Structure 1
């Protein structure tokens, strides 16, 4: 039986052909092995009553026609012709270069005149398996793809599966959830045209009887509408997860000779539970990052909102520079027509009334303070009162003759149009070329409505979004790009590959934000997590927390300041300077270190540990109620660091005490020794 063995950093992924070449199926996925004929838990034998062989196989990609009754990844139909695909293996290629292996398995259906290539890519630098499909119309008539997923991953789950997922809403993103699934289907999907706030395109699967053992996790690299289906059958002992785009407006239609390429679906295996899966995702995402330093940012939104005036912004910039901020970002309100949220979007020119000395001079003044300079933009937003809409009303999504929906008082630019996309790129390129800008925050504050008819509207919009980001990063490599969509509404692997950092939530309240960040770190690395210190109480858990709590929370990723520092006295400014200096001293460890989370922020105590090279940074929070009385015995919570070397010795920077790694790992340390402190930073250096 033909079989291919793909090797990642620590795992093996083995694929084989069915005996008649009608499909490819997963043979083994787990810890790295040298053998290529490993009998794995996905093996099956015996009859398949009331079904077909393909319906019970661990099919890597299942078209209707090969499978008939079980989960499907492709449904193709030719007008007036064949519905369903019955293909056979027609060739394959396996190539290895510089530690990266690519496998391409080709299948063809001579009757339907369709060919498909199942594509795999793995690297010895991480444990992620990247998969996608290329579907080609070989006939001279159109081919409709009613369903065209990227890939499916099959996991052995005898007795059923425990599924972990991320859900939420605006200001409450990345909430962790789980469900037990013994039979049937669990679906996550998004129809908004952007990745979405309600669910993330990420899923983890564990056998029900091994909650801290083998874990498989999948994610989709796509920034439009998407779907993930998990089908569990405890009798068969497997769970199959299918991921891919979700055509919302209409099926995807391929013209003669045209090829549809699905977005990558990514999967990984970890023997170390959810925590191990998170670290594996982080390692993969660190490989996608550019070699840029993510600066400590000050953003002026909370200080001024739309009331942007050059003199006030310069006063904020002076204070920001004095406390150690590295980049000053002017948020919404800097451009013409933008005095509130009802106008201006689309007219990306600085408002001369707000910058009477000229925008060039304003930027130069910020730069003279030793700061980088950044701007907030929303390239896909169009205000009904903008000049852009007056000149190009046909550039926004709409159905002729029907009312247009405004959300946040705005429309959406049809980025799928070549002319609109060219305009958006030119507008941004002009800003970055004319002004000394080193930071760009790309926001997107509403979903798509009234997209109307047309060929693959979702695909064209997303493709041009990617193309613009890629062109800007190519032509302006020194500009740091932050991705945002009403908070965390565009957090996915494709955006991660094209942005340097993400904004997880508009909620900066300390307790709320800590929960958001906990879920974010399950799927995304800390160097992607922008977090600000503000004075905002939050939306849900609003009990007061100290300023230390806020700084330590923001230090858990990429630290920023978003409060109105014009209202701070010198004591608060000096306090901020101390925290920023501390963060900058361990920035590389926090952003690029191996992450270990201790506990849950919804409990009484929570900590996040970062380990890199010879340093361990431990951030801790008292999230529950204080002890409340000095008359009762209280033992402070202890943390056993997981990133220390038991054979080494470490020095605590705060008190200069020395400890063996073995003692730290066994007995732990108490980062919050009494009730007077609700957050702390402990730094351990190898000596």
Structure 2
């Protein structure tokens, strides 16, 4: 057969693939700006491969272990006799007329396994979504040993510069960079959630051009996952991404179909900063008509912890309303048996001792203050001391004969079981129907430790079943309660991925609200996630890793970088502090539409003297700059010093911009930069530039 070739077109980019004449696989031709495929492929190779096979060096899009036996396969399948080496042949393809969707079919003549490699470029984006559907067309069951979603091929002739985000609880989204000359770099999670340790996101640049072209990969999967990057001796870096099969091989019965998660690729000519904007555009389209400026919220956790009761909550609500807060969220501690973290999870009934006039009356009192009402839940978990666990001990993950592993004094419900999924959905849906709730903070405070179900039932894809039902419940709740905003939390930022970005309205990135710690967390977060997903609170908490004090202004300007919230014990704030807070909240309401919808530029970083985020309105009428002082002062007022200059991006060089009585040209702001002067009492600023 002759080679076949297709080009998928994004807003500014194209992605071209081909099935060579031999028909054994699909490979990349070029990926980059429009027109990049009009010339010799930067990734093709058809020369000698001593001690390897042709497929080991080829830029294969989806490789079996027959295609790449030595340099890493995306798919490994085993027959009942233990044989491997699935080898595909091309059987057909379907492409739409707009160049935004493509499906390429393959089949293995020995096992009968069929695979369809799907591509989609959502309109208006520079993101290519990829996934694979496997179908067992043979007469015997198959075991899927490795089930990644695809490989991305990036030309890195001078070496690969990889950017990733590592972390731990209270220190998530730490942006780091690794130079990969040769060999493999890998990250992932085996916790049943994306996890605190790594983010399912990776960026690749050539070491010779760190501010130039950047390619990014991110996974839409809320369970265990893996991403690896390998640079070969020929200068090609291949990134593989997909599920990590922590429960063992997947069983694929005759006639059964298996859909693998979407993995997305992004391209920008403008380095990591430009790549972030590509991801932001994509996530805003995922949000669709739910992309609206989020309300300013108050959360009671750091003020009262588990000591929740009506009068103290109403005292907080009254002050919050005076500050200009719009939604009041009652956190953990509102339900029966919940006076600490050892009991109560699973019994989602308001505690009548804490709300003697009734929970309905309490909510009405909150709403009478002009506030919407929100509630914290952790429906996937259960305490041993709860009525639910007493009634259904078999509903938690367990291994026969083995002790259960408590984490935070709780167990994890097996959401893959239909009866558990129905209980969980009916519980949350019942709360939303019974009470006047506008906001739901959905938490998840432990990973899965037990790989089994009572009775030794198996093998079961526990991870896949849990994720599928979690996504389904979110979708059902959003359909039934479209006005309710859902915040996804997992002990902080352990559940952030593209699949959740399409289902949740906002993410809680970390339990650490210390100012300089949080600055680093949010800096990393915004490289992979849009501002409308970033929930941030103003609290009085010190940092865990950088304890240098910062002003209330610093904390407010920092929390304005996404969705503004307050979590401090505002009862203890002075009248001056409350007045200052009210002023910041009012200013945030004036700019949040630009923060939500504007073009984002990340300037400098938490470890640099320059540190700011720029948001430019779509019509360029306003430019919002949030800036923070990150380090030492320069002898301001006593020794020669000059303001820190923040070079702004994407502005019309001949346009004029004003801030108060100051006027700047776009050229000045881009080349010289916006001046900010820090002092011991002035460590952050919100600057709004208006185009004349």
Normalising by structure 1, we get a TM-score of 0.97
RMSD (CA atoms):
1.3
Q: 1:216 and 1:466 mapped to 2: Cα distance? A: 28
Q: 2:62 and 2:684 mapped to 1: Cα distance? A: 49
Q: Secondary structure at the match of 1:571?
A: helix
For the 8 Å contact 1:95–1:101, the answer to whether it is kept is yes
Residue equivalent to 1:336 = 336
For the 8 Å contact 1:586–1:617, the answer to whether it is kept is yes
Higher mean C-alpha displacement, 497-506 vs 62-71 = 62-71
For the 8 Å contact 1:9–1:123, the answer to whether it is kept is no
For the 8 Å contact 1:28–1:38, the answer to whether it is kept is no
Residue equivalent to 1:521 = 526
Answering whether residue 462 of structure 2 is matched by residue 457 of structure 1, we say: yes
1:6 to 4, 8, 31: 8
Gaps of 5+ in 1: none
After TM superposition, give the deviation of residue 100 of structure 1 in Å: 7.2
Q: Secondary structure at the match of 1:409?
A: coil
Mapping for residues 631-650 of structure 1, pairs under 5 Å: 631-650=638-657
2:271 to 265, 270, 273: 273
Moved over 6 A (4+): none
Residue equivalent to 1:499 = 504
Residue equivalent to 1:113 = 112
After TM superposition, give the deviation of residue 673 of structure 1 in Å: 5.5
Q: Deviations over 1:203-246 (max 9, x none)?
A: 0011111111111110110010001111101x311000000000
For the 8 Å contact 1:671–1:682, the answer to whether it is kept is no
For the 8 Å contact 1:100–1:123, the answer to whether it is kept is no
Q: 1:553 and 1:571 mapped to 2: Cα distance? A: 20
Residue equivalent to 2:92 = 91
For the 8 Å contact 2:65–2:72, the answer to whether it is kept is no
Q: Deviations over 1:378-420 (max 9, x none)?
A: 0111000011100100001111221111010000011011100
Q: 2:678 and 2:55 mapped to 1: Cα distance? A: 60
1:479 to 459, 481, 484: 484
After TM superposition, give the deviation of residue 159 of structure 1 in Å: 2.6
Q: 1:81 to 1:663 in 2, by over 3 A?
A: closer
Q: Secondary structure at the match of 1:682?
A: strand
For the 8 Å contact 1:346–1:387, the answer to whether it is kept is yes
For the 8 Å contact 1:133–1:150, the answer to whether it is kept is yes
Answering whether residue 49 of structure 2 is matched by residue 48 of structure 1, we say: yes
Answering whether residue 682 of structure 2 is matched by residue 677 of structure 1, we say: yes
Kindly tell me the number of residue pairs found equivalent between the two proteins: 681
Residue equivalent to 2:455 = none
Mapping for residues 230-379 of structure 1, pairs under 5 Å: 230-233=229-232, 235-289=233-287, 290-379=290-379
Normalising by structure 2, we get a TM-score of 0.97
For the 8 Å contact 1:441–1:483, the answer to whether it is kept is yes
Residue equivalent to 1:510 = 515
For the 8 Å contact 2:551–2:681, the answer to whether it is kept is no
Higher mean C-alpha displacement, 489-498 vs 41-50 = 41-50
After TM superposition, give the deviation of residue 119 of structure 1 in Å: 0.4
Residue equivalent to 2:624 = 617
Q: Secondary structure at the match of 1:646?
A: coil
Q: 1:283 and 1:459 mapped to 2: Cα distance? A: 28
After TM superposition, give the deviation of residue 669 of structure 1 in Å: 2.1
Q: Secondary structure at the match of 2:504?
A: coil
Answering whether residue 598 of structure 2 is matched by residue 593 of structure 1, we say: yes
Q: 1:565 and 1:171 mapped to 2: Cα distance? A: 23
For the 8 Å contact 1:616–1:644, the answer to whether it is kept is no
Q: 1:317 and 1:630 mapped to 2: Cα distance? A: 42
After TM superposition, give the deviation of residue 50 of structure 1 in Å: 2.1
Q: Secondary structure at the match of 1:49?
A: coil
Residue equivalent to 1:59 = 60
Q: 1:534 to 1:36 in 2, by over 3 A?
A: closer
For the 8 Å contact 1:508–1:536, the answer to whether it is kept is yes
Q: 1:69 and 1:477 mapped to 2: Cα distance? A: 50
After TM superposition, give the deviation of residue 579 of structure 1 in Å: 0.2
After TM superposition, give the deviation of residue 123 of structure 1 in Å: 2.7
After TM superposition, give the deviation of residue 302 of structure 1 in Å: 0.9
After TM superposition, give the deviation of residue 567 of structure 1 in Å: 1.2
